[in-house]
Structure 1
Amino acid sequence: MFVNLSDHERCFALMIHVLESGEGFLKVVGEAGTGKTIMCRKLLRFLSTDQASAYSTVYIPNPMLSPVALYRAVGQELGLVADEQSDNGARLGDITEKILALAELDRSVVIVIDESQSLPPQTLEALRLITNLETEERKLVQIILFGQTELDTLLNQDRFRQLRQRITFAHYLQPLSTLETSQYIAFRLSQCGYNGPQLFSNKAIDLLFRHARGTPRMINVIAHKALMAAFGGKSTLVLPAHVQRAINGDNRPPILKQAPWLILVAALLFAAAVYWRLQ
């Protein structure tokens, strides 16, 4: 689960709309740490529910694949047995037959690719060939690409003009606002079981936001270090000085004697939420 941040909610709603309307192709772009992988996981969880039973999902977490490896991965996700002797044409033919068989069962194939800015050009072209499959009524394969801004640079190459034309929707994930940063920290703490009083002063949140620039990944790292700095300073509240210590990389071990237990518990819980990705 992810905090109901407005931009992330809009992104998720758009993805569901694209799937339900059968529009075929969507890209989700954002800077590193803005929550693309979290959105990808949220989509995959939705696609595994009963209400999404009309979809067969193909998930490619590591796109650094050759065309042969891509076809093999897609085939395996669709339940095909890989034939090591088959060439690209034969593998694509097998995938096509499987997709047509699923279409007869009223199931569409959704290919979800994370970190898609790393797709080699030849593999991106191989992906385009899969998207050619459609009937007069609807597209049989829908693709959602999650990637950093380099994905746009890749797709803007002239050789990918046909593929670019097929991308019907795009969403650009925005950094969090100051208010959303505060909500995000509170959410992370609540998700790992903390339900005590507010731990970050408003000025601490402002400083953290300015340095992290609204990027959830950086917010996680700085917030955790700031909690530990507050604990080491025997403070029951995270202040700007603690955030500044976290920003400066001051990782001296905290003083353990007579330090407030509440902030230590919160720090450890927050660390668990960050490093074990409790979502």
Structure 2
Amino acid sequence: MYCDFFGFTEKPFTITPNPHFIYLSGNHREAFAHLLYGIDSHAGFIAMTGEVGTGKTTVLRTLLSQLDPEKYKSALIFNPCLSGEQLLASICRDFGIEAAEKNSFAYLEALNRYLLEQNAAGRTLVLVVDEAQNLAPEVLEQVRLISNLETERDKLIQIILAGQPELDDVFNRHDLRQLNQRITVRCRLSPMGLDDTKEYISHRVKISGSRIPRLFSPGAVKQIYRFSGGIPRLINVACEQALLLAWTRESLTVTPDIAARVIAEAGAVAPRRGLWERITGLFFSGK
């Protein structure tokens, strides 16, 4: 649609997590370093929290994509609505482990055997549980029991629990104090500042192939930053709509006026037809 107009090879501001577009702000680099340190030092439990849209899933997927497959085996669990047994089944499935029977004991026994085999081969296993704030306490207790699988010298599996800030409240539950005490590495993703927001937008535009200088004007970037509060997902939403409006106006620059227009619509309280509905209505009506 607007990709040819701006010279994009792909849309730069989709909200789906895509490691190809990863931009690490100072805070993101710090969180990334904590995750790598936790894995390399065999910390056992690592926790990462952050508000909705700050890029937790993107950071996690990028982390897993950069681990050497000769040294690491990883599994990503992103469905938090699981029972303890379903969690074990999902972990075994992601690691390609076959259990003799379909019950918690058999899954745990097969997982332990696999962990010992991989440890003997010099490999580290990494388990990532995303949206962990939604896990029931009894399921988190099952996760703690998995961490008990260890040798005399080392933890056999490194577990990253990632979620929204409410995850800290879950950890502070009295009945989960044993789990909380085992988390030795913690990090938090914060929204980006104005400078990082500017670099983030420029980075995604460049990765998408456009060579138009200052596609987003400084004034537009400032408005998008104020609207988004530096949260990547909201930046993407505003930039996507701004590019769409700029395309309809045949403007090769997202001006402050264009940014203000889409932000005003995004923040409107009363239900209104969105920009996209009006544009499609215009085209398909033949006007």
- C-alpha distance in 1, partners of 2:61/2:103? 32
Query: Are residues 1:240 and 2:275 paired?
Result: no
After TM superposition, the score normalised by the length of structure 2 is 0.82
Superposition RMSD on alpha carbons, in Å? 1.9
Name the residue aligned to 1:190.
206
Name the residue aligned to 1:219.
235
After TM superposition, the score normalised by the length of structure 1 is 0.84
Query: Are residues 1:153 and 2:179 paired?
Result: no
Give secondary structure in 1 for the equivalent of 2:251: coil
- C-alpha distance in 2, partners of 1:105/1:235? 58
Name the residue aligned to 1:91.
107
Aligned AA for 1:76? R
- CA shift, 1:234, in A, is 4.1
Name the residue aligned to 1:77.
94
Bigger shift: residues 231-240 or 193-202: 231-240
- C-alpha distance in 1, partners of 2:252/2:77? 44
- C-alpha distance in 1, partners of 2:91/2:243? 44
Q: How does 1:258-273 map to 2 (within 5 A)?
A: none
Name the residue aligned to 1:173.
189
Deviation per CA, 1:167-192: give whole Å up to 9, x if none. 11111101011111111111111111
- C-alpha distance in 1, partners of 2:253/2:71? 49
Query: Are residues 1:143 and 2:185 paired?
Result: no
Name the residue aligned to 1:67.
84
Query: Are residues 1:162 and 2:188 paired?
Result: no
- C-alpha distance in 2, partners of 1:201/1:78? 47
Query: Are residues 1:127 and 2:147 paired?
Result: no
Give secondary structure in 1 for the equivalent of 2:151: coil
| Higher-RCO chain (CA-CA 8 Å, sequence separation at least 6) | 2
Which 5+ residue runs of structure 2 have no aligned equivalent?
A: 1-19, 266-273
Name the residue aligned to 2:52.
32
Give secondary structure in 2 for the equivalent of 1:144: strand
What percentage of residue pairs aligned between the two structures are identical?
37
- C-alpha distance in 2, partners of 1:4/1:91? 37
Query: Are residues 1:15 and 2:31 paired?
Result: no
Instruction: Give the number of aligned pairs.
Output: 252
Pick closer, same or farther for the CA change 1:77–1:237 going to 2, 3 Å: closer
- C-alpha distance in 2, partners of 1:4/1:78? 28
Which 5+ residue runs of structure 1 have no aligned equivalent?
A: 257-279
Name the residue aligned to 1:45.
65
